[in-house]
Homo-oligomer: A and B are copies of this chain.
Amino acid sequence: MPHPLPTLETPLLRFIKETHTEFSRIDAGEVASYIPELGKANPDHFGIAVATTDGHVYEAGDTQVPFTIQSVSKAMVFALALDLLGAERVEAAIGVEPSGEAFNSIRLRADNKPFNAMVNAGAIACSGLIAESAGDEAFELIRTALGRFAGRDLGVDEAVFESERSTGDRNRAIAYLLRTYGGVVGDVDRLLDVYFRQCSVLVTARDLAVMGATFANHGVNPLTGDTVSSNYAVARTLAVMSSSGMYDFAGEWIYRVGVPAKSGVGGGILAALPSQLGLGTFSPRLDMHGNSVRGIRTCEAISEAFDLHMLSRRDDVRTCVVADYDFRTVPSKPGRQPHEQDILSARSGAIRAIELAGKLSFASMDYVTRRLTAPADVPEFLILNLHRVATITDAGLKLLTGLIKNQLPAGTTAVIAGVEATSPVAPQLKALREQGVRVRIFPTYDAAVEWAEDQVVYRHGGFSRIEVEADLSRQALLAGLSPQELADLSRLGTRVVFPAGTRIISANEPPARVYFLLRGMVSARSAGDVRLSTMIPGMVFGEMALIEQPRSTDVWADTEAVCVEVTADQFRAFQETHARAADRIMRNLAVLLAGRIRMATARIEMLTG
């Protein structure tokens, strides 16, 4: 470590600073001089900037020193041409093959087209296409586009421009050669003015990093949010940069560094790795290929330290499945009645839940689909729990859609769980439904399981029992009371009927009434609408009123519900006259609550265990 580092410096910033310090010692290479004005650059300048796809910029050294962009502009201008003129036109005029020659080679392909847009011939043809369609506006278009990639307005170094123009005979030769074959049309000097100006635009290492991050962020500048380039133009430009971006060093580059990059004789290098980072370096000392020596070393060092080679990826698709079970292996939710539980256990294979995590990519989603290829694999209800899924790629979504639409048999209902409105994947799944894909989506896994279980229970007549009316003698809370005591209690109370879907008790109302359920089904639900328990005839709810305790949950009528309602006052009156019965009820209540605690404990177990 060169010097004690301040605390709270991120590991990446620390690495960049150390790299800058280390490579500042390198003084190999020569400042470009074939353009006299470039020769004036300070050879010791050295800046490293990294811009992230979420818009943070790390900087070390001379990242704010302006220099001319030169050939680095070829990348952005090619992307601009693709969007402005259409891929067809541009790809017809300019090749995408590496030339295997120096950047300033005059050699064209056998069909007299430039090899690619990263060598001068291709770049001149590219600017030519823009000039052809935009006329006098061409340069301003280019300057604006470069500025949007950088996230700020960019100027021109007029001295360098004049110097390039007065010494640009080789490029003049290339342009005239191109015109011979119709590769460019119109006034060559006017075109070259656009090209020379484009090369003379002033940028900093920080600008190059942000430009790179805009490529890495699929064309959206992460600092400004401005959509600068289409996905197509971005991917294709990065492809040409990979094969031809570093002049005749390109093969070596993809071999050793593996990050698409473009260099310029001004001493700048722009590198961009999709969804990872943009990198900008500035150091005017160039090697024999015309690439910045320190810049190349920096790119190599960062790529190696953080394994950024675009072909070095190691994921195990299997990690996307964190759990996969039919309900033979997990207890169904508490709050089920014994007879419902029986139905569910008898048909435990009817529901299968697969919990996925991380990124659902082409490979990981294909892996998921392969878990469902044998008839035995496919349940009545397939629950895909996406609670832990952070991303679904387009390909992953396509395979998910195919699974639901074509792979699953008609008898299987697809259920997606764990997708709240705030979930990163919510919009994609919403779109899925809008495309008419038949899938049910639940915010929580619990809600999905409950719904699927209810379906199974319902299909097998599990809810029939609730339709028989039960009198108070079946109430557990009233166990041990004499017929007379029961009769007196029901005479005190009122018979009430709640339509399905009524909220009978609200969690925050005063505890004034207790309800004895005679017919139908009600459920206690949390604020998050999670079912905590289900009550059927013979059960009581709102019983906290008997001990003046606040309500803890809402209670909803799942079906039409018939109850005997007893107010706290009515119960106190009953207590006065029936001491023994009241004492017995209090004991029964303690027993009931104890049972409920056991259930809740089991549930917490299941959720945390």
In Å, the complex CA distance between A367 and B609 comes to: 30
Could you mark each residue 483-512 of chain A with 1 if its beta carbon is under 8 Å from any beta carbon of chain B, else 0?
000000000000000000000000000000
Q: A242 in the interface, Cβ–Cβ < 8 Å?
A: yes
Q: A158 in the interface, Cβ–Cβ < 8 Å?
A: no
- Determine whether the beta carbon of B97 is less than 8 Å from that of A252: yes
Q: Which of A360-374 contact B (CB under 8 A)?
A: 361-363, 366-367, 369-370, 372-374
In Å, the complex CA distance between A176 and B190 comes to: 51
- Determine whether the beta carbon of B591 is less than 8 Å from that of A10: no
Among B251, B358, B424, contact of A243 (Cβ-Cβ < 8 Å): B251
Could you mark each residue 296-320 of chain A with 1 if its beta carbon is under 8 Å from any beta carbon of chain B, else 0?
0000000001111111111111111
- Determine whether the beta carbon of B586 is less than 8 Å from that of A274: no
Q: A577 in the interface, Cβ–Cβ < 8 Å?
A: no
Q: A322 in the interface, Cβ–Cβ < 8 Å?
A: yes
Could you mark each residue 503-543 of chain A with 1 if its beta carbon is under 8 Å from any beta carbon of chain B, else 0?
00000000000000000000000111010100000000000
- Determine whether the beta carbon of A363 is less than 8 Å from that of B276: yes
- Determine whether the beta carbon of B97 is less than 8 Å from that of A601: no
Q: A330 in the interface, Cβ–Cβ < 8 Å?
A: no
Q: A438 in the interface, Cβ–Cβ < 8 Å?
A: no
Among B101, B252, B366, B595, contact of A52 (Cβ-Cβ < 8 Å): B366
Q: A177 in the interface, Cβ–Cβ < 8 Å?
A: no
Question: Given the complex, which residues of B lie within 8 Å of A446, measured CB to CB?
Answer: 608
Could you mark each residue 447-482 of chain A with 1 if its beta carbon is under 8 Å from any beta carbon of chain B, else 0?
000000000000000000000000000000000000
Could you mark each residue 317-334 of chain A with 1 if its beta carbon is under 8 Å from any beta carbon of chain B, else 0?
111101000000000000
Q: A80 in the interface, Cβ–Cβ < 8 Å?
A: no
Question: Given the complex, which residues of B lie within 8 Å of A306, measured CB to CB?
Answer: 362, 395, 398-399
- Determine whether the beta carbon of A7 is less than 8 Å from that of B318: no
Name A387's closest neighbour in chain B (CB-CB).
B388
Q: Which of A570-609 contact B (CB under 8 A)?
A: 583, 586-587, 589-591, 593-598, 600-601, 603-605, 607-609
Name A11's closest neighbour in chain B (CB-CB).
B402
- Determine whether the beta carbon of A526 is less than 8 Å from that of B312: no
Q: A92 in the interface, Cβ–Cβ < 8 Å?
A: no
Q: A28 in the interface, Cβ–Cβ < 8 Å?
A: no
Q: A12 in the interface, Cβ–Cβ < 8 Å?
A: yes
Pick the interface stretch among A141-149, A164-172, A344-352, A545-553.
A545-553
Shortest CB-to-CB span from A434 to chain B, Å, is: 20
| Given A370-B10, A597-B593, A609-B528: A388 and B388 interface contact (C-beta under 8 Å) | yes
Question: Given the complex, which residues of B lie within 8 Å of A115, measured CB to CB?
Answer: 100, 251
Could you mark each residue 240-266 of chain A with 1 if its beta carbon is under 8 Å from any beta carbon of chain B, else 0?
101110001111101100101000000
Pick the interface stretch among A30-38, A199-207, A230-238, A560-568.
A230-238
Among B11, B276, B311, B318, contact of A398 (Cβ-Cβ < 8 Å): B11
In Å, the complex CA distance between A236 and B308 comes to: 13
Q: A343 in the interface, Cβ–Cβ < 8 Å?
A: no
- Determine whether the beta carbon of A406 is less than 8 Å from that of B14: yes
- Determine whether the beta carbon of A601 is less than 8 Å from that of B552: yes
In Å, the complex CA distance between A595 and B544 comes to: 10
Could you mark each residue 418-447 of chain A with 1 if its beta carbon is under 8 Å from any beta carbon of chain B, else 0?
000000100000000000000000001010
| Given A95-B251, A306-B362: A594 and B8 interface contact (C-beta under 8 Å) | no
In Å, the complex CA distance between A465 and B54 comes to: 49
Q: A357 in the interface, Cβ–Cβ < 8 Å?
A: yes
Could you mark each residue 384-415 of chain A with 1 if its beta carbon is under 8 Å from any beta carbon of chain B, else 0?
00001111011100110111001111000000
Question: Given the complex, which residues of B lie within 8 Å of A290, measured CB to CB?
Answer: none
Shortest CB-to-CB span from A32 to chain B, Å, is: 21
In Å, the complex CA distance between A101 and B277 comes to: 34
Question: Given the complex, which residues of B lie within 8 Å of A53, measured CB to CB?
Answer: 315-317, 363
- Determine whether the beta carbon of A52 is less than 8 Å from that of B403: no
Shortest CB-to-CB span from A409 to chain B, Å, is: 5
Name A116's closest neighbour in chain B (CB-CB).
B251
Name A551's closest neighbour in chain B (CB-CB).
B598
- Determine whether the beta carbon of B597 is less than 8 Å from that of A552: yes
Shortest CB-to-CB span from A398 to chain B, Å, is: 7
Q: A9 in the interface, Cβ–Cβ < 8 Å?
A: yes
| Given A95-B251, A251-B97, A532-B601: A274 and B395 interface contact (C-beta under 8 Å) | no
Query: Could you list some 29 contacts between A and B, CB below 8 A?
Result: A8-B373, A10-B366, A10-B402, A11-B403, A11-B406, A15-B402, A52-B363, A95-B251, A97-B250, A98-B243, A100-B100, A100-B101, A100-B115, A239-B258, A274-B311, A274-B314, A276-B313, A306-B395, A357-B358, A358-B389, A532-B604, A546-B590, A547-B587, A547-B590, A549-B594, A553-B601, A593-B597, A604-B607, A607-B608
Closest 5 CB pairs between A and B? Answer: A11-B402, A600-B600, A358-B390, A97-B251, A593-B593
